[in-house]
Structures are given as C-alpha cells and as structure tokens.
Structure 1
C-alpha cells in the first residue's frame, strides 16, 4: 500500500450556524471570498435575508438548537462557525452548542462567538460597567423572557470542557463600517492591548473565519479588539502579548 502525499487542495466546507444575522452574513461573505463551500443554518423566517447569496450557498432552515437540523448541516464540514445567541429562556445557546459538539466531524474546527463577559479561567479584569451593569441588564432581560446571558455562560463551559478543536472568540463592543483588518487579541480582558474595546463587526467575522485555519487558536478563548484602536496600535507586537494581528 502506498501513501498519497498529494496536498489536499479542495476548498474548505464550512457550516455557519446563525447565518442570517449581521455577524453571520459577514462570515458568509468572508468564506465566499476564500472560495469556501458554505452551508448556512438559520430560522425559516430569516431565509429571505440570504437572498443575495442563495445561489452560492446551501441553506438549511431550522432552529439552531434543533439537533436534527445541526446533524444534517455539519455533516462533512471541515469547520463550523457558530453564533452563540442567548435568545429566550429555553437554553438556546447551550442547546445549539451541545448539538454542534455532538454532531460535528471529529477533526472539524469549531469556532464560537460570544462577548467579553465569558471567562475561561477567571483571570479577566472587567471594568465597573461590566461588573455591575451587565448582571442587572441580564436579570431584567431574563425576567422579560427575552435574553438569557447565563445560558451563553453555560454554553461556553460546555465548549471549554470539550476535547474538540474549539475556539471561543470573545468580542468587544461592536460598530459597523468598512473592514480595518484582522483584530488583535489577548487571553484576558483587562490586558492593555484590549483597552480600546471596539471592533468593526465585519472584522469580528473576519477573525472567526481566519481562526478556521489558525491552529495556534485551538482551545483558546481570545478576547479581541479592533486593530485600529489606539491601544491595539500601542501594544501590538510587544513580547508580553500572545499572538496578534496588525491592521492591513
């Protein structure tokens, strides 16, 4: 028997879970720009939001926490990009996460999005706004049965405990606008490079897609910040910082 050492040049097949939202649509475009094959999962009522790319991707309508939907969508995919949306009070984020972790291919790269409020090791240093305001807003939102931020925390814990090839991308405050380039990142909120606390949404999506082929991010929970912020420009490249990405 001979070993075929011919490089695998086929395009990546990527599933985007939560594809119809702003972040999801940016991820679709970044993937298509790389000639990746895209499978998009979104709620049936949101399918029209993908009309502009419907002829270039495969769309699977359904709730992202529907195990049968996820099993079908991730089959054969090299990577899965998942937007952890804490909608409602019925474990939407953790249900989606369980399905992705269970049904994704064993060697698939699994990239999840969330906010800075998620902590992996408890060493993040938060501003007083995040320490006090977020819990209050989260409690009110849960009482209103609109959002359950704690479910996103539970989802993250499932990921951190998993032996899959995961990355949890923790985003700063977001703004719209043209791409500025790949965001910088650090392991802990509170590190000086993250002080700018502002990322273009299109660049959050860029970081997610770039993580698919960046093995240094496997089992990391990078907190990101826009590369054009003052703090990013001041601290990017210093030896004390982990891997970072300067603006184009």
Structure 2
C-alpha cells in the first residue's frame, strides 16, 4: 500500500528526497521530523500494521507500507531518492536486517547517500574496545533473544559487514544507550568505542536521529562508522574537540 501526498515546493526548486526505512519506530519518527524541518521530501517505509503511527505526518510525507526486507517495497520507496536512512532492526531470526540492508544497497539510486543505524556492538575494523560488562550484556541479550526467536544480533552484524564491503556512499551510525528528552544538539563521535569521549554512553534519541539526517549532507562521514554520544554528557564535555565547520564533532 502506498499513501502519497503532493510534495511541491513554493519556489518551484528541486527538493532533496529522502527515504526513511523503519519510519514508524521511535528513531524513525524523529528522523522524519528532522528531515521535514529541512524541507526535504520524505518517503517513509513501515509495516502495514504500523502506518497509523505516522498519522501526524500523513499530509506531509509519502508512506510505502510493507516489510522493510521486501525488495519490491524498498525498490518503490527509494526510487528517485537522494538519500536513504535505514534503521537496522534485527527482528526475528530470518535475516531481516541483512535483507533490509541488501535491498537498500542494491536498489537505491547510484550515488545516493545511504545512512544506517545500529549499536556500539558493531565493529568495522576490530579496534573498538569494549568493557567486560558491555560484552557480557550483548552476549546475554543475543542468547535470550534467539531462544525466544525475537531478535538476531548476529544478523545485524552480517548486515553491517555487507554495508562495509559496499562501494556505495554509506555511513553506519553506531548509537550508545538512548534516552528520551529534549534535543541537546548534534552528538559527538569517534571512530572507535573505548575513546574516553564516549564513556558516558548515553544519547537523546532525537539527537541520534539528528545525526542520521545531518549525515546526508556531511561528506566527511562517507565510509565512516561513527560511534556517537550526547554532546552535553560529561565525557563529551570533558574530551570533545571544538566543533568542525559542518557541525559534528569528532575525536580520533
């Protein structure tokens, strides 16, 4: 099912067209709002039963309903898009994350910015340093979730492996623990978990979404897997470098 609305711009100029895959979730809805705040044309993908969660945007976005790992659904949704923002949710044990990622990689227009979300547990080069407690919590969640066939963290790892191997213009944003609340600003990022700047391990969910949308126009993030933390957290304030001209902050 497609729910389509007119998307003309008052001055007749071209608008950036972005697709949010997983638009009905908490992170997805924040991304939709941040994209609309930038006057982007927005296409949202979500499961049929979740379309109602996008009711507040009904007259401002296009909704393509269906499973996000359905190639036909993704193909329709990403057509003509300048960027695709994808929430990599490891639902079930049937390759949902990897199927979603592969569909986006294969079907997004050539040259489109592809921005994916995941957690700190994903590592690109094996140089991330995790605490014993963090590793233990990931193992427990993974085992328990697979026992009840709820989520498959290993499939999210596989999804990111495929992304990292791709020549597309991708960014994988790795989020810390999340909390609700008013936005504090663009999160601070580092290439590796274990950097002292990330020690607070908390980010406002709306700011995570802000970082995802900001990545659309930040070419410095192409082929990067930034691990992020809230810009007002104690560790960010103690260790972050001054903001770069584009707005995000990076530590090496």
- Would you say the 8 A contact 1:174–1:199 is kept in 2? yes
**How far, CA to CA, are the matches of 1:172 and 1:75 in structure 2?**
31
Once the 2 structures are TM-superposed, how far is the Cα of residue 244 of structure 1 from its aligned partner? 4.2
Q: 138, 157, 162: which is aligned to 1:158?
A: 162
- 1:16-27 correspondence to structure 2 within 5 Å: 16-27=20-31
**How far, CA to CA, are the matches of 2:116 and 2:92 in structure 1?**
19
- Structure 2 counterpart of 1:3: none
- Structure 2 counterpart of 1:209: 213
Once the 2 structures are TM-superposed, how far is the Cα of residue 15 of structure 1 from its aligned partner? 0.3
- Structure 2 counterpart of 1:106: 110
- Would you say the 8 A contact 2:242–2:249 is kept in 1? no
Moved more, 157-166 or 132-141: 132-141
- Structure 1 counterpart of 2:119: 115
Deviations 1:107-142 (A, max 9, x none): 000000000000000000001112122112201111
Alignment partner of 2:174: what SS?
Answer: strand
- Would you say the 8 A contact 2:114–2:171 is kept in 1? yes
Q: 172, 180, 184: which is aligned to 2:184?
A: 180
Once the 2 structures are TM-superposed, how far is the Cα of residue 189 of structure 1 from its aligned partner? 0.2
Deviations 1:181-237 (A, max 9, x none): 000000000001111110000000000000000000000000000000011011111
Moved more, 228-237 or 215-224: 228-237
Once the 2 structures are TM-superposed, how far is the Cα of residue 238 of structure 1 from its aligned partner? 6.8
Q: 124, 140, 147: which is aligned to 1:143?
A: 147
- 1:29-40 correspondence to structure 2 within 5 Å: 29-40=33-44
Report the RMSD for the aligned CA atoms in angstroms. Answer: 1.6
- Structure 2 counterpart of 1:57: 61
Once the 2 structures are TM-superposed, how far is the Cα of residue 44 of structure 1 from its aligned partner? 0.2
- Structure 2 counterpart of 1:48: 52
Count of equivalent residues:
236
2:233 aligned with 1:245: no
Q: 71, 81, 98: which is aligned to 1:94?
A: 98
**How far, CA to CA, are the matches of 1:81 and 1:138 in structure 2?**
25
- Would you say the 8 A contact 2:175–2:229 is kept in 1? yes
2:16 aligned with 1:12: yes
Alignment partner of 1:212: what SS?
Answer: helix
Alignment partner of 1:211: what SS?
Answer: helix
Relative to the length of structure 1, the TM-score reads 0.93
Deviations 1:129-182 (A, max 9, x none): 121221122011111100100000000000000000000000000000000000
**How far, CA to CA, are the matches of 2:136 and 2:55 in structure 1?**
41
2:135 aligned with 1:131: yes
Structure 1 unmatched runs, 5+ = 1-8
Relative to the length of structure 2, the TM-score reads 0.91
Alignment partner of 2:249: what SS?
Answer: coil
